[in-house]
Amino acid sequence: MAPEATAQVSTDKPNFVILLIDDAAFMDLGVYGGEAATPNIDALARQGVMFTRYYTSPLCAPSRAMLLTGIDNHRTGVATIPEVLPKEHVGKPGYTMRLEPGVETIATRLKPLGYRTLLTGKWHLGSDEGALPSAHGFDRSFALDASGADNWEDKSYMPYYREAPWYEDGEPASLPDDFYSSRFIVDQMIDYLGETDSAQPFLAYLGFQAIHIPVQAPAEITAKYRETYTDGWQALRERRWQRAKEIGLIPANAPLEPLRPGMRAWESLSEDERALYAARMAVNAAMLEAMDLHIGRLVDHLKEQGLYENTVFVITSDNGPEPSRGDNDWRLKLWMRFNGYHLGLDGIGEKGSWGFIGPEWAMAASSPGDLFKFHSSEGGIHVPMIMAGPGIERGIREDAVAQVTDIAPTLLEMAGASGQTAGVPITGRSLVPLLSGAADAIYGPDEPIAMEVSGNSALILGDYKITRNQKPWGDARWRLYNIKTDPGETTDLAAAAPDIMQALLTAYDTYAADMGVLPVPDGYDSQKVLTRNTQMRQLKSYWWIGVIGLGLILVAVWGVWRLGSTLLKSGGH
């Protein structure tokens, strides 16, 4: 039997719960037409506003910096992620890979208003001295400062990291033996909430690891989806496209971009390969459902404590779906073998399984958009966003443009914060007029929004968008699309509408100059930079192995030389 609900505390300030999903596509959630069962998120969407034109950045850390500060990523110091930072940008202003002086988080801004500020889950904004959540306004935090980690164990998921860097309140921390990421992130937040005076408003930021690689989920949930994806990625891409038209997310005549050259046809895989890849996507859906289940536990807890009715919920994703594979690089496969991971079908998604979906499933998941994470096509930056709670209209689908930097100023206005502080100015805008029904748009027809991460760039102005995507799936060329009629970015209008193209390029140049965007080196390829940076990290971490190896080689050479000298002397006698 549930505990008896306490009386609702009367306060002028709402509580805030930010639920950040990792790598979710625009249509991944049930309410957006996805296959995974997400009833708790769907219920919040029905009680609030479901955004259909919300944009983020194409990579996790820049999105998180913008969400938590309301400031463009280049002004926060987290212009990209350390893993793909080219050496030409290291240490440059805006590219220090940590929140720079004067950049205030929403937690820092809410504390003077009496808020208790709490964080659990992924941080990925730095762990050097003064870089963790405890130095940026959070009273309590249990934070992962990495792009990801294992979901069942306290260990790294890729060679870039020696271990999973978890910290509690700024100090290194370990995980419980029964750890599963979504459950733990919610459990820890419930524990922190239990320390909060019930009369004190709170900010609760939960950075889930779902559905970042390694994709892992409880076997009993995965079993529900074992037949869902057996017809392959092209079928899923077309099915989501049709579903998007049925529920009005895109126009009825919107075209669909085909799979990119270099992507495999489902029919080209062997029967065993198709079974394995279908199971990988089943785990992906199960990981979403598992996360939603634990979100439901948090919602129930808030209801039991009488806090739910005065809580504003924000649910979104940091970027689009993850295209990386784990089975096409011998170095990664070798690392997995030494670190207790397997890629097989048996026990898939369970402890020791290194799950991924790869570029073809990511392309299918991003439907009706094009491409995925890392890129500024719709599949990389157009993601779900839901807001619900006091002062927010109920059951509304919002088609006005919004972006990730708008969340922080929205919550600050709801909390009664007044104006800018002495720190770096907020660049986003409050969505309160939209959420209350007082306005139809936050950005006028002549006001663009723009974003850039590692040369992957976009600018949206009214119905038009220019985008530039870098290698490995792009060619660094600017293209122009009418994303109202062509949300799948299938027809480049640059040649047909040169005046519009030039106007948007000029607007982008203004944005880049204002925000301090640095151009990427010629031929920039994030995957190649990741490989180089990983090798450098490993060399730094495991230098002693090289020293020992060099020592053994020198000893061996010396031994051969001594043996040769002895034989020569013996021959001389």
How far is it, in rounded angstroms, from Cα 463 to Cα 1? Answer: 53
Question: What are the tokens at 32?
Answer: 């957006």
Angle at 373 between CA 525 and CA 466, to 5 degrees: 80
Catalytic residue among 60, 89, 212, 301: 60
How far is it, in rounded angstroms, from Cα 533 to Cα 377? Answer: 25
- 202-207/15-21 β-pairing: parallel
> In angstroms, what CA-CA distances link 282 with 61, 232, 325, 532?
27, 12, 16, 32
- 464-468/385-388 β-pairing: unpaired
Are residues 406 and 428 in contact, defined by beta-carbon separation less than 8 angstroms?
A: yes
Catalytic residue among 124, 136, 301, 382: 124
**What's the N-to-C CA distance of the chain in angstroms?**
97
**In 198-317, which ranges are E strands?**
202-207, 311-317
**Which candidate, 275, 252, 309, 312, places its Cα nearest to that of 436?**
312
> In angstroms, what CA-CA distances link 523 with 86, 89, 323, 458, 519?
11, 15, 20, 19, 11
Amino acid at 232: G
Residue 119 dihedral angles phi and psi, to the nearest 5°: -140, 135
- 60 is annotated as an active-site residue: yes
Q: What is the DSSP letter of 153?
A: S
Amino acid at 220: E
DSSP codes joined into one string, 436-483: HTS-S-SS-TT--EEEEETTEEEEEETTEEEEE--BTT--S-EEEEET
- 74 is annotated as an active-site residue: no
Long-range Cβ contacts of 426-431 (<8 Å, 24+ apart):
426/69, 426/70, 426/71, 427/70, 427/71, 427/72, 427/75, 427/515, 428/66, 428/70, 428/71, 428/403, 428/404, 429/405, 430/406, 431/387, 431/402, 431/406, 431/407
How far is it, in rounded angstroms, from Cα 316 to Cα 21? Answer: 6
Residues serving a catalytic function are: 60, 124
